[in-house]
Chains A and B, each alone.
Chain A
């Protein structure tokens, strides 16, 4: 499974990183770009240190992480439940699908100021946006997965006299796992976006708040450093989902065989 990571590929990937970092450090200067617009890498690093020292970055990371985890867990839980309900019941889907579609199309992040108005400057509005934004890809993926299960598989179980519960637990639930995890992966990155937007909209905590604060003071190195921190949080969330996915979907053919 790890054989896709050949030394030459790893080297190439690291090469891109080196070129990118070098370009960042010396590129803007060479092109005559003002350092307060795009600061070189070294001052971003210094900005990061500053954030830790002067701006209590660990606290903000803690807040943002908490919001991301809470939003992701609640959003995907609701998405999974909703996805199975809609996938299993035609009535539910027909009755609810227009509203779900409308909610899906509505730009959820636009609700951020409203949520702040309703719930104040605490963590709740941020978590709520994350929940809303994570909910849909998970719901849609689970619903379509349940719908697309080969009816002959269900007939096979029925032919052995399986009860509805058995059909669900032995066929429908496991068969929908791969798309469910694909939805969770999307959800993990969206949760970070939702939380960041929520933090932009109000309050005085979280990495998103730091971005607004430092950008307002034109402390560009710190802005970049905070964006970097958000990216790391997002990557960690994504990576945790992949880790869970690899454990649950261990039976799947490894990706390198897909080409045959």
Chain B
């Protein structure tokens, strides 16, 4: 359990200002973090601090401006089949059935039909949407669609999952049920995940560790190890009396409720 799955070494990302004013925006600066095999780590921080930017670099879709990202000790230089991401948007393809959506990555990877079918059956069942396999995305509720997106993300058997606010568009109850299922699925499959969220309770309930980022330029300013048992059961974890103090600590780190300067 000490293998490092995902690692950022002193990573910086700069953007040229969109308006072409030549100004350089430093989105993240000197970020170093690592996620061990089977760990679920949450990343929280103010809006615009560079969380999604970190995720894009981990997926290989965007390059770092300085520093390096490693997945399984290999430097990330381009997209990498060991990493899969899931966003707030489900990104389901409207013209494919749920099953065909789940098989999308497998199809691109060139797996034969039987093998695709076997894997999609498996993940459709594990994500509890087997009954909707032959439906089209528009026939499903938001929660069901996110389940399908999760199944697609897991179907390619990635080593590392990058989750960017996957549940933030869902209602509170659906969200809790999906958190529960995600936590169990990740734990059963022994997957490693980096989980971005703005929901502090969600961050604590689902993770082994929570990393807190500062305002832009984003840096990691704190690491909190969640010392509550039962990571696979966030419903139980939510009821634990230690949740409150953790959330309070995160609130003060993020200055929630304090007078805030408007972000530039």
- Please give 20 more A-B residue pairs, beta carbons under 8 A apart, in addition to A153-B93, A159-B61, A251-B94: A150-B91, A152-B87, A155-B61, A156-B91, A157-B104, A158-B61, A158-B79, A159-B59, A159-B60, A159-B84, A159-B85, A160-B79, A160-B104, A160-B108, A160-B156, A174-B93, A251-B138, A252-B94, A252-B138, A253-B139
Shortest Cβ gap from B137 to chain A (Å): 9
> Which listed residue, A166, A174, A177, touches B108 by the CB 8 Å rule?
A166
Pick from A150, A157, A171 the residue with the most CB of B within 10 Å: A157
The reply to whether B95 and A251 contact each other, CB–CB distance below 8 Å, is yes
Judged by a CB distance under 8 angstroms, whether A34 is at the interface is no
Judged by a CB distance under 8 angstroms, whether B81 is at the interface is yes
Q: Complex Cα distance A199/B107, Å?
A: 51
Q: Mark A159-201, 1 if CB is under 8 A from B, else 0.
A: 1111000100011001101000000000000000000000000
- List B residues 31-88 near A (Cβ within 8 Å): 59-61, 79, 81, 83-85, 87
The reply to whether A152 and B94 contact each other, CB–CB distance below 8 Å, is no
Shortest Cβ gap from B152 to chain A (Å): 9
Shortest Cβ gap from A148 to chain B (Å): 14
Residues of B within 8 A of A (CB): 59-61, 79, 81, 83-85, 87, 89, 91, 93-96, 104-105, 107-109, 136, 138-139, 156
CB neighbours of A160 from chain B (8 A):
79, 81, 104-105, 108-109, 156
Pick from A161, A162, A171, A249 the residue with the most CB of B within 10 Å: A161
What is the interface size of chain A, counting residues whose CB is below 8 A from a CB of the partner? 21
Closest A residue to B105 by beta carbon equals A160
Pick from A150, A158, A166 the residue with the most CB of B within 10 Å: A158
Shortest Cβ gap from A158 to chain B (Å): 6
The reply to whether A174 and B109 contact each other, CB–CB distance below 8 Å, is no
Q: Complex Cα distance A232/B138, Å?
A: 35
CB neighbours of A158 from chain B (8 A):
61, 79
Q: Complex Cα distance A171/B85, Å?
A: 17
CB neighbours of B107 from chain A (8 A):
170
CB neighbours of B84 from chain A (8 A):
159
Pick from B61, B89, B107 the residue with the most CB of A within 10 Å: B61
> Which listed residue, A153, A170, A177, A252, touches B91 by the CB 8 Å rule?
A153
Can you list 25 A-B pairs, Cβ within 8 angstroms, ordered by A?
A: A150-B91, A152-B87, A153-B93, A155-B61, A156-B85, A156-B104, A157-B104, A157-B108, A158-B79, A159-B61, A159-B84, A160-B104, A160-B105, A160-B156, A161-B79, A161-B81, A170-B93, A174-B95, A175-B95, A249-B95, A251-B94, A251-B95, A251-B136, A251-B138, A253-B138
The reply to whether A159 and B94 contact each other, CB–CB distance below 8 Å, is no
CB neighbours of B87 from chain A (8 A):
152
